Structure 1
């Protein structure tokens, strides 16, 4: 029900804001403002999006929990969609998501609302919180012995089809 309310109320608020601002500064200046906010927003989203991808790759390479860089990237993506949507309310929300402090507070709120039980990444069984090296050595130095059987498929005994040049 609340989602229906959001989908109905946001366009109504945008229409009211367009009418109010259009009567205050005129039609062409209102349309120019919408166009300029979309262009500025696109430039800002691109720059922050590239930085977010870099932070995400860095967290993967250091074998750290990538939830914060992923959340930042998702909020920047939402910000871009809101900034490209014509309207002043969506632009205000989109520009707010481009502020790192706002994203951090939203991330903290969502992290407290939803929790991940465990996150493990790497080559070891359970990486320690202090060791971020991808090459961890087992203290017991286990040696594994075993037998193997070659299961490589044998070459086909049939003639090649007319579609191949054998």
Structure 2
């Protein structure tokens, strides 16, 4: 229900603003204002989107956190999108989002509401090249709400088994005529 409310209120606000602004400056200037806003929004999305990508790339090259430039770039892209959408209210919101101080304020508000509960990565060495990626150490994630989903943690080792009995034509140890073919290894695999 709450998600539908903006879709009901926003068109009503836009129509009311069209009527008010159109009554003050006229119909044609109001339409020109909306079209100019759409063109400016497309230009903002093109120019600022490329700039945001360069800021993220620069942050990664300097080994800084790219989260801040990415968030600012996303808000600039949203601002351009709001300016492209026909309407005076959405264009005003888009123009507000182009102000860096407003973007910083929004990001601070969003960051204050984000709560990180935990994360982990486990790598236990000792199994040779078959490292134990992704396995949780004992007791990890076994707090409230933890469910055992039928996963069995286990270990394995590769052992070379002696080759099975030589059967006629099934292994590389003989060609069925009694002659030995050149030995290609002691893997025990059959050749068909």
- Please indicate the TM-score interval, normalised by the length of the shorter structure: 0.5 to 0.7
State how far apart, in whole Å, the 2-side matches of 1:38 and 1:97 are. Answer: 15
Q: Aligned runs of 1:107-122 on 2, under 5 Å?
A: 107-116=107-116
Cα contact 1:52–1:72 (8 A) shared by 2: yes
Q: Which structure 2 residue ranges, 5 or more long, are not aligned?
A: 130-190
State how far apart, in whole Å, the 2-side matches of 1:116 and 1:67 are. Answer: 15
Deviation of the 1:7 alpha carbon: 1.1
Query: Which residue is 2:40 aligned to?
Result: 40
Deviation of the 1:64 alpha carbon: 2.6
Which segment drifts farther, 72-81 or 10-19?
72-81
Q: SS of the counterpart of 2:92? A: helix
Q: Which of these two proteins has the greater Rg computed from alpha carbons?
A: 2
Cα contact 2:48–2:77 (8 A) shared by 1: no
State how far apart, in whole Å, the 1-side matches of 2:35 and 2:106 are. Answer: 28
Which segment drifts farther, 88-97 or 59-68?
59-68
Which segment drifts farther, 53-62 or 11-20?
53-62
State how far apart, in whole Å, the 2-side matches of 1:75 and 1:96 are. Answer: 11
Q: How many positions carry a matched residue from both structures?
A: 130
Which segment drifts farther, 105-114 or 33-42?
33-42
State how far apart, in whole Å, the 1-side matches of 2:81 and 2:73 are. Answer: 12
Q: Aligned runs of 1:80-91 on 2, under 5 Å?
A: 80-91=80-91
Query: Which residue is 1:136 aligned to?
Result: none
Deviation of the 1:116 alpha carbon: 4.4
Instruction: Using structure 2 for the length normalisation, give the TM-score.
Output: 0.58
Query: Which residue is 1:30 aligned to?
Result: 30
Cα contact 1:45–1:98 (8 A) shared by 2: no
Q: Aligned runs of 1:1-166 on 2, under 5 Å?
A: 1-116=1-116
Q: SS of the counterpart of 2:3? A: helix
Q: Which has the higher helix share?
A: 1
Cα contact 1:41–1:95 (8 A) shared by 2: no
Where in structure 1 do 4 or more consecutive aligned residues deviate above 6 Å? none
Backbone CA RMSD of aligned residues: 3.0
Q: Which structure 1 residue ranges, 5 or more long, are not aligned?
A: 120-124, 126-144, 147-156, 159-166
State how far apart, in whole Å, the 2-side matches of 1:34 and 1:95 are. Answer: 13
Q: SS of the counterpart of 2:63? A: coil
